[in-house]
Amino acid sequence: MKKAFWVHSALFSVALLYGGNYIIAKDIMPGIFSPVLIVTFRVIFGLIFFWSFAAFLPKEKIQNLSDYGKLALCALFGIATNQLLFFKGLSITSPINASLVMTTTPILVLVASRIVLKEKVRGQKAFGVMLGFSGALLLIYSSTTRIDLGSGDWRGDLMVLINASSYGLYLVLVKPLIAKYSTTTVVKWLFLFGSLMVIPFGIPHFQEFSFNEIPNWSWLNLTYILIGVTVLAYFLNAWALNYANPSLVGIYIYLQPVLATLISIILDKDQLTLDKFIAGGLIFLGVYFVSIRK
């Protein structure tokens, strides 16, 4: 019972951190920090932090060459593709749009689990998949027709949707590695491989970047992204995968739009329009049918 409490607490904390991230990251993109520059800061910070942290723990070696390949694949989907598309998408769409599209992740986890882990998909779960994708497509379509008063952009919504697919696949692929190695070992290698994939894209942005022109409040936003959404969120998610299946970890993502919407409306940074409400309802119904038992 205690273990279950801490697992759910960790997953809720991750949802809260990501919920705040939609608003905090949106504030500094793209005018102050470019999306690629933020992701480059993240992977470098995560690389330094987790390898330094691991230095104080008992050393754990990767057992075989194939596991390095699996770690690199997880880094591709869980760090490089995931982060680059998410922040670029968020920079050109609204926080509510991005958070709603991200709730398709639990559905995508189900699809990936069926393909990779050969898990059975019942009729009600297949129905949930259809509902969830209908909601995401409606959200993208509404942005193209400017029903949502121009606060969203279909290109950004599409990038976030591809990012959600990448992250869902990552949750499935990383589960066997988490069962085999410690959380810190897995995460430190993820950030090493992820850095190698992201930094080449970030170098041109660093060359154009001027530290002197950045206001102090923007550094506070970046600090939240580096510590909260990078170190804490990745570690807590990976730790929870020790005791939970990928579907449970994915399902908690449905809290993100709720938290992000509440924060956005309180801060008067976004509007909850009818089309978003309908799209969100379809996504939540999809998640419900995917997650309920027989």
Residue span of the structural domain in which 257 resides: 15-291
Higher model confidence: residue 155 or residue 289?
155
Higher model confidence: residue 157 or residue 44?
44
Average pLDDT score over the chain: 81
* Residue 9 lies inside a defined structural domain of this protein: no
* Residue 126 lies inside a defined structural domain of this protein: yes
For position 180, what pLDDT does the model report? 93
Please report, for the chain, how many H helices and E strands are present, in that order.
14, 0
Mean predicted confidence (pLDDT) in 123-151: 63
The residue behind tokens 């609204």 is 94
Cβ(60)–Cβ(185) below 8 Å = yes
Q: Mean pLDDT highest for which of 95-99, 199-203, 277-281?
A: 199-203
209 φ, ψ (degrees, to nearest 5):
-90, 135
Mean predicted confidence (pLDDT) in 112-140: 69
226 φ, ψ (degrees, to nearest 5):
-70, -45
* Residue 234 lies inside a defined structural domain of this protein: yes
* Residue 2 lies inside a defined structural domain of this protein: no
pTM over 0.85: no
> Can you say whether the dihedral through the CA atoms of 153, 96, 134, 130 is positive or negative?
positive
* Residue 236 lies inside a defined structural domain of this protein: yes
> Residue 119 burial by CB count (10 A; 0-12/13-18/19+): exposed, middle or buried?
middle
For position 195, what pLDDT does the model report? 96
pLDDT class of 177 with cuts at 50, 70, 90: very high
* Residue 132 lies inside a defined structural domain of this protein: yes
Residues 6 or more apart whose CB falls under 8 angstroms from that of 30 comprise 91, 92
* Residue 120 lies inside a defined structural domain of this protein: yes
Residues 6 or more apart whose CB falls under 8 angstroms from that of 103 comprise 132, 253, 254, 256, 257, 280, 283, 284, 287
* Residue 10 lies inside a defined structural domain of this protein: no
Mean predicted confidence (pLDDT) in 248-253: 73
| pLDDT exceeds 90 at position 182 | yes
Tens-digit pLDDT profile for residues 213-230: 788 888 999 999 999 999
Our count of domains for the chain comes to 1
Higher model confidence: residue 160 or residue 54?
54
